[in-house]
Structures are given as structure tokens and as C-alpha cells.
Amino acid sequence: MGLLSDPNRRRALISLLTRLNTPICLVCYMAGVAWFMGLAFEPFTLRTYMSENAMGSTMVEERFPAGERALATGREFAAHKKKVGGMPVDWLVKTMQARGLEVFTQSFSRTLPFPDENKERYMVKGTNVYGILRAPRAPRTEALVLSAPCSPGDNNQAVGLLLGLAQYFRNQIYWAKDIIFLVNEHDLIGMQAWLEGYHHTNTTGMDWSPLQGRGGSIQAALSLELSSDVITSLDLVLEGLNGQLPNLDLANLFYAFCQKIGVLCTIQGKLQRNDWDSVSGYSHAVQTMMLMVMKQASGRPWGDHGLFLRYHIEAATIKGINSFRQYKTDATTIGRLLEGMYRKLNNLLERLHQSYFFYLMPSLSHFVSIGYYMPAFGLLTVILLLRETHIFTGRYLSIYSACIGNSPLLIKYVSSQQSSPGVLSVLTPLVISHLTGVALYTLPIRFQEMAVEHFPVSETEAVVLTAIAVYTAGLALPHNTHRFLSGEGTEQGWRVLKLVAVLYLAVLLGCTALINFSLGFILALTLVPVAAFVTPHIPKVLSAFILVILSPACTLLFSVFFFQELQEMPVSFQDGWLLYLSVISQGILDHFLYGSLVYPLIALLVYPCWLLFWNILFWK
């Protein structure tokens, strides 16, 4: 007799869940996908607004006058860069000192685990140059950062504008925080070295010289990418390492100033549209949102700002885009926009924390917060929990009916039968799957030399192809683990394994979605149907094919094609395959260079989980 609940009601509810399990699962899945697609529909989103009181509205007077001079400085920088053949350190130091900043340099070096074919580098050596503008009257406790990456042949105007702004800022007396002007070499690697040196941490094993000058705790940072003298629009990039996003107030600030000055601003490179009630308008918003989801799920920093977020510094990248449009914006206007943003950031009293840290943006003026998008994921996870109860009550009911319907002797036999799929039959597949995962994580890097000896491929290709080989070898496992299993082929064995696997997947997806919602959601979309419907009794060939299609590797392949489609640069199959290989190599490199967690997550946790389901499929 239950005290808090009625056992009859409970039993009725559980039996209802067990009977209608499949329809409810299907409905939940459809509802989850529909909810996610509905997020981009404008009436369901909120307009962005400034939450931080100290930043207030855009009421500052921007007076930056020297856009042309900044461009001239940029051309000088380009000339010196070409002469030196890398970063013109001496010229930069001299120029920054002439503008009244305290200039310091940092040298760093890193040998990549394998050569990076996209950027053609293997042993990287470089120097970062940064100048600190000390606030005239304030104590040196807080700082803001303005950075521009030094890339060969590109981004000269950004460095010129940075130096022009440095000169203008130096003449003002209203700065309450130090401003650090940073020019980093080898983009993300240099930025990582600088940040590690600034915060006295060393998480990625890089070699760098310690920083001689420091400016206090950094409140916000902006990275500039500007490659032309005039631009037609400014693009804001928010996605950072591991899918972390800066505080929404930074995006709001940018948007507010764009509106005040009258510059065209975009996010994901897509312009805003006003016709949200038409089909094309809605699909435009969906495309923008899906681009953000894809970029966030990849876990890589999409601009130099992405590495700041790990240190709880709100940062964004502003890219200048010059496309075929009539109205052009010159460097003075961009300088004024940045001046306005920095004056507002100067007014901050504490770190940006009033607005959201977890959000999706279907356009620059609308956003969806975590409270609105999480139910989509929750609906998918509910399917797993429903399946849990189904399996669990299935076992329970079968024992119950066995006990009711049979004699005591039979009960004893049945109960002894139930206890035979013990720990070993569950533990063995688990251990073997995880060992395969560990192999997938360690083998590609470790055996790249051996692979290069035996096969005519470059190191990068060796690593990627080894990874794919290990992945495919894992598919052969069920036929081999049965040799080690004692309780093989029992009815109850696979049920227990499925129970464990579904729980494992639910916890894994839940934790992933908390940190990186996009990655969790995409994995859930493909793995939840796998988890829900795999049993040894379904037709083997068809379900094996479906399982492979829904595995993480194929999900990645389809995502690559989908991403290219969204960016309106669709690729053919060969190019897509090569792109896929480079995406895998970039993912592995990101992990070793900056500490991105996507590669270890997939290799060590998601892939073994998927292998467990593969194991269940081939249980007999």
C-alpha cells in the first residue's frame, strides 16, 4: 500500500506508457524537431535590448577624424611586412612607441602534432607585439583589448586602423581602463600564446616567453578583420571555442552602434530581412540560425576572439566585408563605431553579466534564449527516458507474469535464469567499446610515422585515414566480442545492455547540451532514434545500414555538405569528401592546439556509446 501515491494509478500509468511507447516517442521526436524549427519564427523570438545599466544608450559623441591616415599606416605596414617576409616587429614597436604606448613583445613557438594543410604550417615560430595605453587617472586594475591578426598578405587595413585608433585614444583623458592594442602573428596560435602568457596558465603545451607588461583583468576584447579600404557591411562573429558565446550585451552594443552610425551590419554574413511572415523570410531566418548552430557545434573558434571566452572575457570579432553594393563606408566611420563601442565599454563597472550567455540568433536584432530552445532538446531526451521505462517495466512485468503464472519450482528456475546475464555480459561490451574509443583517440597521432612509411600519403592524410580506419574497424567488433562473452545471446542480456546504453546516452547528451547546445542537439537528432529502436530482432542489413548512416562520422559528413549549402557555396561530392577529411584533421588539431573538446568527446564517449548500440544490433 503506497503512502504517497496510489499503486493502482501508478501501475495504470506505467502500463499506458508501455503500451503507447512507440507512438509517444514518435510524437516527441516530431515535436522536438518542430520546436527547433519554430525557434526562427519571428513572433517566437525576442528583440535584443541592452541589459547592462552602465552602458546605457549610445549617447556618446564619436569624433575620430583620421581614417585616411589609418589607411596610409596600413599600407606602410603591408610594405614592411612584405620586406621582412613575416611580421615587421621592429617597425610595429617603433610605431606604437611613437604613439605613446608602452610596447612589449612576446615570442612563441609550437610544433604541431602533424602538419596543417589548410594553413601550410608545421613548426610555428612567431612574435606578438602589443602596446598598452595606460588610463591617465585610473588605477591599473582593468583593461580592454583591441586586436588585429597579422596574416600574410591580408588584414593590413585592420592593423592601420588599430594604430590610428591608438593615436586618437591616447589624446583622450576619459579612459578608466587600460587599453591593450595587440597584433598577433599566426592568428589563433599567437593569440593562444598571448592569453596563456597573460593569465599565467599553460594548458596546451606551447612554448612562449613571459609577458613583460600587463594591464589588469581584461573586461572585453574585440578582434578586427579588415582587408579593404572601403567596406559595404560589417559582420559580427560570436562563436568561440567549444561553442562558447560572449555575453549578448556585446552583440547588442555592436548592433546599437551600427544603427546609430548607419552602417550595414550582418551576422553569419546574412542581411536582415523584414518579411518574417513570408516563406522566404522565414527560411532566411532559419538559415541564419542553422549557420550559427553548425558553427557552434563544430566547437572551433571562428575568429581570434574565440580563445578569450575561456577566460571569461567577453569578446567578438568584427569583419569588414566589401561586396557589390552601392553604399560604401569608409575607415573613418568604422573608426567612429569602434570609438563609440570602446567609450561605452569604458563605462562598465563590472564584467558584462546582465544579459544572456546562452542564446541563438536568427538575426542580429532578434534572439532566442536558453529557456526557449532547451525544451526542443528536452523533448528528444524524453524519448530516451520513455525507452528506459519501457525496457525496465518490460523486464519487471515479465518476471511478474512469470511468478504469477507458474509454479514455485519454475519461479526458482526463471529467477535463476534472470540473474545469469550478470555484470560480465554488460561490462565486456562496455570495456571493449571504450577501448576502441581510446584507440580512435590515440592511434592516429601515434602511428602517423608508421603509416607514412608504409603508404604513399602525407602526414595529415595519414592521421585522418587512420582515424577513419579505426572507426570502421570498430564496426567489426560485435563478431569478435562474442568470443569473450559468457552470457551471449540471452534475451535478458541485451535488454540490460540496452538499459545501460540508453541511460549512458541520455546522461552524455544532457551534459553535452548544457555546455554546447548545438552539438548536443545535432547528436541527439541522430542518436536518439538509434537508441530508441535498436534491438536484435529488427532486420539486420537494413538496420545496420541505417545505424551507419546515423553514426557520428556520417552525421559529420552530412553536416559538411549542409553547411556548404547554407553558405550558398554548394560543393560536389569529391570536393565535399576532401573538405570532410580536412574538417576531421582540423578538429584533431584544434584539440591539441587550443583544447577543443569536440574530438575527445566524439572519440572517447559518443563513439563507444554508438558502438554499444551496434553491439546490441548484432547480439545474436
User: Which spans of this chain sit near other proteins (rule: CB under 8 A)?
Assistant: 53-54, 56-57, 59-61, 135-138, 172-176, 343-344, 346-347, 349
Based on CB atoms, which residue is closest to other proteins, 49 or 400?
Answer: 49
Q: Please, what is the minimum distance in Å from the beta carbon of residue 59 to other proteins?
A: 4
Nearer to other proteins, 136 or 262 (CB): 136
Closest listed residue to residue 221, CA positions, set 165, 173, 181: 181
**Least distance in angstroms from the C-beta of 98 to other proteins:** 25
Q: How far apart are CA 290 and CA 33, in angstroms?
A: 13
The answer to whether 330 and 338 have CB atoms below 8 angstroms apart is no
4 or 173: whose CB is closer to other proteins? 173
* Smallest distance from other proteins to CB 345, Å: 11
Rounded to the nearest 10 degrees, how much is the dihedral formed by the CA atoms of 511, 516, 519, 524?
A: 40
Q: How far is the CB of 173 from other proteins (least distance, A)?
A: 6
54 vs 445, beta carbon nearer other proteins = 54
The Cα–Cα gap between 64 and 164 comes to 9
Residue 120 CB-density burial (10 A; 0-12 exposed, 13-18 middle, 19+ buried): exposed
Among candidate residues 601, 595, 598, the one with its CA nearest the CA of residue 195:
595
Minimum Å gap between C-beta 176 and other proteins is 4
Residue 268 backbone class (left: φ over 0; alpha: ψ -120 to 50; beta: rest): left
Q: Which residues of 428-463 are buried (b: 16+ CB within 10 A; e: fewer)?
A: bbbebbbebbebbbebbbebbeebbeeeeeebbbbb
Query: What's the rounded Cα separation, in Å, for the pair 441 and 601?
Result: 10
* Residue carrying the nine cell digits 572551433: 300
Q: Which residues contact 181 (CB under 8 A, 6 or more apart)?
A: 96, 101, 130, 131, 132, 133, 146, 147, 162, 163, 165, 166
Of the pair 143, 292, the CB lying nearest other proteins is at: 143
Question: What is the C-alpha radius of gyration for the chain, rounded to an integer number of angstroms?
Answer: 28
State which residue, 35 or 342, has the beta carbon closest to other proteins.
342
To other proteins, the closest distance from the beta carbon of 101 in angstroms equals 19
Nearest distance from C-beta of residue 118 to other proteins, angstroms: 44
CB of 258 to other proteins, least distance (A): 18
Residue with Cβ nearer other proteins (8 or 53): 53
> Least distance (Å) from other proteins to the CB of residue 194?
26
Tally of residues, the chain: 620
Nearer to other proteins (CB atom), residue 53 or residue 572: 53
C-alpha cell at 499: 538499459
Residue 172: CB minimum distance to other proteins, A: 7
Q: How far is 546 from 544, CA to CA, in rounded Å?
A: 5
Residue 111, beta-bridge partner list: 123
How far is the CA of 575 from the CAs of 279, 460, 562, in angstroms?
A: 31, 17, 13
- Closest CB to other proteins among residues 83, 137: 137
In the bound complex, what is the minimum distance in angstroms from residue 174's beta carbon to other proteins?
4
The smaller minimum CB distance to other proteins, of residues 21 and 346, is found at 346
Our CB check for other proteins shows the closer of 65 and 136 to be 136
State the CB neighbour count (10 A cutoff) for residue 466. Answer: 22
Going by the DSSP 8-state scheme, the letter that residue 354 receives in this structure is S
Distance, CA of 497 to CA of 531 (rounded, Å)? 11
